Amino acid sequence: MKLGMWLDAVRRERPLVHNITNLVVTNIAANALLSVGASPVMAYAHEEVGEMASIAKALSLNMGTLTPDVVTAMRIAGRAAETKGVPIIFDPVGVGATAYRTQVATDLLRDVDVTVLRANAGEMSVLLGLAGEVKGVDALQADEALPTAMKHYALASSAVVIATGPVDLVTDGHTTWQLSNGHPLLAAITGSGCMLTALLGAFVGVVPEGSPLSTYAEACVAAITSYNVAAEQAAQKALGPGTFHMALFDCLYNLDSRAVDASAGVEVTGA
């Protein structure tokens, strides 16, 4: 699987990614998208989110800081994107931590057909009805049955399903990829998962219209691997979380597509 070509496509096409994201990391997510060559927009007003989602190449929805207004904006944007065939990435941050978050995630997945569902392993376990556990927005535990449950959900929903952690899992319901790149310093900075959700929008945003779900899955594998390879490079330059965070943007900006292919730790674990 040649993953670097997806990074090249993002830089060539500069997809517009509409983000309704965690207010704590709005600037961070935008800078991550700019660093890989994508074009971010952060629009939340009910009066414009539908129009903005309709003209974007991807819509990224992140539940990090929930309010009723944000939930309504997500629903309006999601329905507009769905009508126009714009791929939707959904990150149910903190699902399982409170009844409200769990209900919002359940309702949005019922009301909007997402293209990519991304969560950490604990959140994904909770969302799929397994014995996962979260504390606030952090994963404490994932169920060992998670890979199988993810495949079943992907088949039932026709969505790419991603669970991130020390080892990342990606499935389209037919094939499961296990990704081993990354660095522990990603867990020591604010917004590492939120940045990844935004970057998934950039990579999914360059998938040709009408492509099968397996192509979207490959773009997701490329996004995660590119991000994690950049993290590995940044960690070599960092003194700690602060310098790592700064170096991560630089490494995303300078990331070579050939380095992505050379460093990729990707294994097909089920087909």
Residue 150 class from Cβ within 10 Å (0-12 exposed, 13-18 middle, 19+ buried)?
buried
191 is in an annotated binding site: yes
Q: Which two tokens stand for residue 137?
A: 């927005």
Q: How far is CA 124 from CA 16, 117, 169, 223, 244, in A?
A: 27, 9, 11, 19, 27
Give the Cα separation of 64 and 196 in Å (integer): 13
118 is in an annotated binding site: yes
Q: Are 170 and 224 in contact (CB under 8 A)?
A: yes
Q: Which two tokens stand for residue 135?
A: 């504390």
The vertex-178 CA angle with 172 and 182, nearest 5°, equals 125
Query: What strand order describes the sheet that includes 16-20?
Result: 39-42, 16-20, 58-62, 88-91, 116-120, 160-164, 168-171, 176-179, 266-270
Q: Which residues, 6+ apart, have CB-to-CB distance to 210 below 8 Å?
A: none
Q: Are 172 and 160 in contact (CB under 8 A)?
A: yes
Burial code (b: 16+ CB inside 10 Å, e: under 16) for 72-93 equals ebbbbbbbbbbeeebbbbbbbb
Q: To which residue do tokens 């522990």 refer?
A: 184
The vertex-235 CA angle with 232 and 237, nearest 5°, equals 125
Known binding residues: 42, 118, 164, 191
Known binding residues for substrate: 42, 191
Known binding residues for ATP: 118, 164
